[in-house]
Amino acid sequence: MISKSFLHIFVFILLLVDVSAVGLVPAIHEVDFEPGRTYEFKFYARADPGFQTPVVIYMMGELSKYVEPKEYIYPKCMETTVPESGVVPFTFKVKIPKDANPTPGKNTIAVYVADAVSTGGTIGVSTAVEGWLTFLVPYPGKYADLYFDIANTNINRSTNVNLRITSRGKEPLLNTNAVVEIRDKDDVLKDVINFNDININSGETTTLSEILHSENYLPGKYFGKATYFYEGDKKEAKAEFKVGVLELKLLRTTEKLIEEKINKFEMLVENQWNNELEEVYATGEIYNQNFKSPTIEMQQFAESMLQSYIDTTGFQLGPAEVKINLFFKEKGEDKVYSSEQKVSVEIIEEAVETKEEEKKQGFNSITLTLIIVVFVLLVIIFDIIWLKKRKRKEP
């Protein structure tokens, strides 16, 4: 017979596990705000397929008072069931009065879908997901939103500087201008780009683009700052971009090898090019012993770990030199590129490494013991609460 304490432990474990995952589609939806307009929206509640999952749907936010049916408005909630297909649609309206004057900017109705849990005739929730229905409410007068980006590029190649400006005020933005400054890591000014005579009607967006040539740029990271000036006000935005060079950089390697055994040797490399690399691998030599890593592919400006193995049988204790050759090809090209460099490793006694591992294991054992103690205490507390509730019910 299963003891009640065991059942309590089992229930406790179940409470720690998210046994049902709920979802909401779309997670984010934006619309322009218009007084006097009735909006209709369709969302989808999702849950794990293969089950009948009870869920509740409710909404909060300044504009949620205009939602219909009113059962969606918190603290009320709409109850429904996600079928075995894993998805159920739900629709609602938002009726905006003509005299509505909500907070300007992004005014959001938070849409929640939650796992429904029945507790003594009432409905509770265990897990919930949140979506955002955002109304873009115009600001009084003139107001602008600014988006700015510069795409990564390679040395001696061009890239695009992009601005996207949206007029969020009730009045248009006329005869305005923007300036973009490009600086290097030492804050040295490299370029200035001007955009003049910009006109944007209320609620509209304009996109501006200019070509940036990188002939005078060294490989590395650069920093852009865009400033949009309008009617005595301004908006600023920042962006970073990289200028690449066709190189594979060795960032770090394994620093210690244990004597008289086969050791894993790791080499962290970084693609310095704004294109994918293929057939990337490393070869190496230490004490006339050769090794080679498997071949991989790398995304632009990505880091990857190359691995191989070194047998230190017969190696002397102390520092040793490792000669490493890196090989790669630009994706879609035939030419093979290579580079050679030397790094130092230390050959150490196994006892030294063993002591370090023992310290780590001791720490892990203490941590595990503390977790077990806390878990047992929680189970005991759970058991005591359950027994007290049972005694109260007994005549």
Which helix (H) or strand (E) segment is 12 a member of?
Answer: helix 4-16
pLDDT value, residue 232: 87
Average per-residue pLDDT in the chain?
Answer: 88
Q: Does the predicted TM-score (pTM) go above 0.85?
A: no
Give dist(CA 89, CA 342) in Å, integer. 62
Contact 328, 248 (CB under 8 A): yes
Instruction: Name which of 137, 44, 48 is nearest 89 in CA terms.
Output: 44
Beta pairing class for 303-311 and 158-167: unpaired
pLDDT value, residue 120: 45
Interior/surface letters 108-134, b for 16+ CB within 10 angstroms, e for the rest: bbebbbbbbeeeeeeeebeeebebbbb
4 pLDDT band, cuts 50/70/90, is: very low
393 pLDDT band, cuts 50/70/90, is: very low
φ, ψ of residue 106 in degrees (nearest 5): -85, 100
Strand partners, 303: 270
Beta pairing class for 28-32 and 122-137: parallel
The per-residue pLDDT for range 308-363, each reduced to its tens digit, is 999 999 999 999 999 999 999 999 999 999 999 999 999 999 875 455 655 656 55
Beta pairing class for 153-154 and 233-244: parallel
Residue type, position 22, single letter:
V
- Asked whether residue 132 carries a pLDDT value surpassing 70, the answer given is yes
10 pLDDT band, cuts 50/70/90, is: very low
Q: What angle do CA 217, 221, 224 make, to 5 degrees?
A: 85
CA distances from 17 to 11, 21, 127, 196 (A): 10, 11, 11, 58
Strand partners, 28: 132
Instruction: Name which of 318, 321, 309, 324 is nearest 261 in CA terms.
Output: 309
Give mean pLDDT, residues 145-158. Answer: 96
Give mean pLDDT, residues 108-130. Answer: 73
End-to-end CA distance of the chain: 26
- Asked whether residue 121 carries a pLDDT value surpassing 80, the answer given is no
- Asked whether residue 395 carries a pLDDT value surpassing 80, the answer given is no
- Asked whether residue 19 carries a pLDDT value surpassing 80, the answer given is no
Strand partners, 268: 252, 305
